[in-house]
């Protein structure tokens, strides 16, 4: 299934006027554009947009947009519509949803051309009464039906051409026992109303669901409390995620400069500040649907430059204060290990991860080398892995700089880098053995 119909005309299952929503902006993106990109990411390649009135403003907004890859056909509501005898996904224009929630519909198949599948969220208040494999009763209000359907062209031609409301259409089909439930397995959603406050609610839902699965506890529960308010402001500026990455990277690079100048607390604070707001580029990218491989690499490069500045600045600052041989030795060890980490992580991402984000490393390496095949010592290291995340060690360095000064920061960074080196050398050995065995 690769064809979707977006209804920006008529009334939805809840009686909402759908013509109001295609032109609204959610997270500074036209709602119609958001729906098209979301559907593209779930596998949809063709779109039929049903609109009321003149769609020239919408066409102008979307034409030439590099993010729109699918073929778009514009149809005015009430005019005859000829659809192919295939299965279509039908999306109300007031639905805010993520691509993962649409994936089950793309693979949906039906043996009856008059059957309609209704996407249902079983965690929400009942909107329909389901008995086994059959929808028995339709209620006019509630939250369980998302506002997305699967139906054949034969069924849809009538409802689209006659501008019937989706509620009346489904109620009629339910009487014929032609409506089937499709459970929503993953994701989030909401249906906007004509109330302007619903746009803010939609953005709240988007921001509540933008945390990456690879984020640690501290990033999700503490750092996000600072980054998300900033990201809410940034999405309303012309700044791109890549520019935001560069700005945050510059703050991180200042860390090493402050350490070198004899200001270890300012250096540690700069690293911590860049770590907290390192979330912002990704948050803005996900809200504005601007994620890209290039953006991942830019973020990774600036992250590495920030830590390289730290690795160089700490021993140099300590040496100027009389650190002597300790500063030179530990600084040299740290720099060598970090350069190995950079070389290996870049090689791994290119060869094994198909990604530009170092955050994916732990997940991907565990897929390639299951934990049960690790040595006993390495399994112990895996338990320490959460402490090796940037969000943790940058905070630890801040405390060390405040209460212990250079020697504590330098010693802790050496300890952490040595553990990382052991972890990654074992990864290299295990991957080589696996490659040889295959």
**Residue 337 maps to a domain:** yes
Same domain, 165 and 61: yes
Q: Are residues 288 and 342 in the same domain?
A: yes
Pair (169, 273) in one structural domain: no
Query: Is pLDDT at 432 greater than 50 in this prediction?
Result: yes
Within 10 Å of residue 121's Cβ, how many Cβ atoms?
18
CA distances from 371 to 161, 388, 431 (A): 57, 17, 13
138 three-class SS: strand
Compute the average pLDDT of residues 329-346.
96
Predicted confidence at residue 265, as pLDDT, reads 97
What's the rounded mean pLDDT across residues 105-114? Answer: 76
pLDDT band, very low/low/confident/very high, at 140 (cuts 50, 70, 90) = very low
Where among 191, 220, 237 does a domain terminate? 191
- Could you tell me if residue 363 is inside a domain? yes
pLDDT in tens, 199-218: 999 999 999 888 876 678 88
What's the structural domain count of the chain? 2
CA atoms within 13 A on the CB side of 275: 26
Answer yes or no: are the C-beta atoms of 39 and 47 closer than 8 Å. Answer: yes
More confident residue, 123 or 61: 61
Q: Please say if the pLDDT value at position 126 is more than 60.
A: no
What CATH code is carried by the domain that includes residue 382? 1.20.120.1760
CATH of the domain at 64: 3.90.550.10
Contact 185, 104 (CB under 8 A): yes
Residues 277 and 426 in one domain: yes
Same domain, 115 and 243: no
Structure tokens at 135: 């929808």
Least Cα distance to 67 among 227, 248, 285, 258 occurs for 285
User: Do the domain assignments include residue 22?
Assistant: yes
Same domain, 277 and 172: no
* 374 and 286 inside one domain: yes
Q: What is the pLDDT of residue 214?
A: 66
In a domain, 196, yes or no: no
Contact assessment for residue 327 and residue 319, using Cβ atoms and an 8 Å cutoff = yes
Q: What angle do CA 318, 324, 325 make, to 5 degrees?
A: 115
> Which of 159-168, 187-196, 429-438 shows the lowest per-residue confidence on average (mean pLDDT)?
159-168
What is the domain range of residue 320? 212-437
Q: What is the pLDDT of residues 389-427, one digit of tens each?
A: 899 999 999 999 999 999 999 999 999 999 999 888 988
* Per-residue confidence (pLDDT) for residue 134, from 0 to 100: 62
Question: What confidence score (pLDDT) does residue 135 get?
Answer: 59
Least confident stretch, 96-105, 157-166, 249-258: 157-166
Residues 260, 310: Cα–Cα separation, whole Å: 9
pLDDT in tens, 268-314: 999 999 999 999 999 999 999 999 999 999 999 999 999 999 999 99
End-to-end CA distance of the chain: 36
On whether both 69 and 168 belong to a single domain, the answer is: yes
Domain presence at residue 336: yes
For residues 416 and 271, state if they share a domain. yes
Residue 36 lies in a domain: yes
* Confidence check: pLDDT of 125 > 70: no
The winner for highest mean pLDDT among 163-167, 186-190, 244-248, 376-380 is: 244-248
* Pair 153, 245 in one domain: no
Does the residue 370 lie in any domain? yes
Is residue 165 scored above 90 in pLDDT?
no
> 206 lies in a domain?
no
What's the rounded Cα separation, in Å, for the pair 58 and 206? Answer: 23
CA angle 285, 356, 32 (to 5 degrees): 30
Same domain, 269 and 405: yes
Mean pLDDT (the chain, rounded): 88
Q: Does 230 lie in the same domain as 164?
A: no
């Amino acid at each position: 299934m690769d064809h979707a119909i977006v209804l920006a005309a008529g009334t939805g299952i809840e009686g909402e006027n759908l013509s109001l929503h295609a032109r609204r902006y959610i997270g500074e993106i036209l709602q119609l554009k958001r729906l098209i990109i979301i559907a593209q990411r779930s596998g949809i390649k063709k779109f039929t947009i049903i609109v009321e009135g003149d769609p020239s403003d919408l066409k102008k907004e979307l034409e030439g947009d590099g993010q729109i890859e699918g073929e778009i056909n514009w149809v005015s509501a009430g005019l005859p519509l000829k659809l192919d005898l295939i299965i279509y996904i039908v999306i109300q224009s007031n639905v805010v949803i993520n691509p993962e929630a649409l994936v089950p519909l793309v693979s949906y198949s039906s043996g009856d051309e008059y059957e309609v599948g209704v996407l249902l969220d079983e965690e929400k208040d009942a909107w329909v009464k389901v008995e086994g494999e059959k929808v028995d009763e339709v209620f006019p209000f509630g939250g369980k039906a998302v506002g997305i359907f699967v139906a054949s062209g034969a069924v849809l031609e009538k409802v689209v051409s006659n501008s019937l409301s989706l509620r009346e259409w489904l109620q009629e089909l339910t009487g014929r026992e032609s409506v089937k439930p499709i459970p929503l397995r993953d994701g989030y959603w909401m249906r906007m109303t004509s109330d302007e406050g619903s746009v803010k609610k939609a953005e709240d839902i988007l921001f509540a669901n933008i945390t990456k699965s690879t984020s640690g506890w501290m990033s999700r529960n503490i750092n996000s409390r600072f980054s998300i308010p900033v990201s809410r402001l940034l999405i309303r500026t012309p700044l791109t995620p890549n520019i935001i990455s560069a700005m945050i990277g510059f703050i991180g690079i200042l860390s090493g400069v402050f350490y070198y100048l004899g200001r270890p607390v300012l250096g540690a604070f700069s690293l911590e500040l860049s770590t907290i707001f390192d979330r912002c580029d990704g948050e803005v990218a996900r809200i504005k649907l601007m994620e890209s491989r290039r953006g991942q690499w830019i973020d990774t490069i600036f992250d590495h430059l920030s830590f390289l500045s730290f690795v160089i600045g700490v021993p140099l600052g300590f040496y100027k204060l009389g650190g002597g041989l300790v500063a030179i030795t530990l600084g040299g060890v740290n720099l060598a290990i970090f350069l190995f980490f950079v070389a290996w992580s870049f090689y791994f991402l290119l060869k094994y991860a198909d990604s530009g984000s170092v955050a994916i490393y732990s997940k991907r390496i565990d897929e390639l080398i299951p934990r049960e095949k690790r040595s006993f010592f390495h399994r112990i290291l895996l338990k320490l892995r959460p402490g090796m995340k940037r969000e943790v060690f940058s905070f630890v360095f801040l405390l060390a700089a405040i209460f212990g000064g250079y020697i504590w920061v330098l010693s802790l960074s050496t300890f952490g880098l040595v553990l990382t080196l052991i972890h990654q050398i074992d990864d290299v050995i295990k991957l080589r053995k696996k490659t040889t065995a295959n």
